[in-house]
Amino acid sequence: MSHHIVELKGLSHVYPDGTNALDDITLRITHGESVAIVGANGAGKSTLLLHLNGYLWPTSGSVRIGDYPLTKETLREARRTVGMIFQDPDDQLFMPTIFDDVAFGPFNLGLPRDEVETRVQEALVRMDIAHLRDKPPFKLSAGEKRRAAIATVLSMAPDILVLDEPTTGLDPLGRRQIISILKDFTHTRIIATHDLDLVLDLCSRTIVLHRGTVRADGRTLDIFRDDALLAECHLEQPLSMQGCPICAGKMKHGG
């Protein structure tokens, strides 16, 4: 089995306050797929992602990463395989400088300093922020923080990239730049997002979560053309698939 495979079987999660966040989720994501996880607020997207490298543990069911089930014993290897990028970059940037943040993971792997230096430099160049390596995180813009957070994961050389709302808080230019960078990641990508136009750009497969269950799983265009499904799950088509309301009004009135 490939190290890139993610498999969930009967995954359920109930929070301590009794909230049933996930209910019997079963799915399989294979090497090289780019998969979107979409749904309204509270559908379970972030909860699902946090199970993929052991930040949360199932109430019932199982998670498999590559060749092994995710357990306390396999957690370290799973976190080398699955790179998690959180919704808030400040959750990943906590060291005095960006270099220190990006080097933190490789040093924890026990890599020699010269290899850490190489990995950090490559990640910073890939994210176009090499000039920020000695800057403290709090002096960065939202877009720069997002790039730095991604660099902290790329320096670990993961086989699977998992992102929670990667374009939140970015201006249009920053959003386009992040999409362009993500297109260059050739391994498996799993993206939870409300940005459905990003999904069209990056993901050939879309999984729709609704009230903690998988409501649909299929080709992205098929999902976004299903008006009844979108309405049921409190979603709308991407803006790029919606007709221009001004033009539609002119046609309606013969203008």
pLDDT value of residue 182: 86
pLDDT value of residue 56: 95
pLDDT value of residue 1: 42
Domains of the chain: 6-252 (3.40.50.300)
pLDDT mean by block of 10 residues, the chain; 255 residues? 80 95 96 95 95 94 92 90 91 94 93 95 92 94 90 92 89 85 87 94 96 96 95 92 60 47
Neighbours of 254 (CB within 10 A): 5
pLDDT value of residue 2: 56
3-state secondary structure of 212: coil
* Strand ranges inside the chain, DSSP E: 6-14, 20-29, 34-38, 60-65, 68-69, 82-85, 160-164, 188-192, 205-210, 213-219
Neighbours of 199 (CB within 10 A): 23
